[in-house]
Amino acid sequence: MSEPRLPETLTAPVTPERLARMEEVARKRQFGLRVVLEDLENPRNISAICRLCDAFGIQFLHVIYRGIHPIVLDRRTSAGSHQWLTVIQHPTIDECICELKAMGFRIYATHVDPTAKEFTQVDYTQRVAIIVGNEGHGVSETARHLADERIVIPQVGFVNSLNVATATAIILAEAFRQRRAAGLYDTPELNEEERNTLIRQWLEREAAASGGHR
Q: Which residues are annotated as a binding site for S-adenosyl-L-methionine?
A: 110, 153, 162
Helix-strand-coil percent breakdown of the chain, rounded to 5? 40, 15, 40
DSSP 132-167: E-BTTTBS-HHHHHH-SEEEE----SSS----HHHH
Binding site residue list: 110, 153, 162
Check if the beta carbon of residue 176 is closer than 8 Å to that of residue 130. no
Check if the beta carbon of residue 1 is closer than 8 Å to that of residue 22. no
Per-residue CA distances from 139 to 3, 163, 207 (Å): 42, 14, 37
Enumerate residues 6+ apart whose C-beta is below 8 A from 168.
35, 48, 49, 52, 110, 130, 132
CA 117, 118, 123 angle in degrees (round to 5)? 80
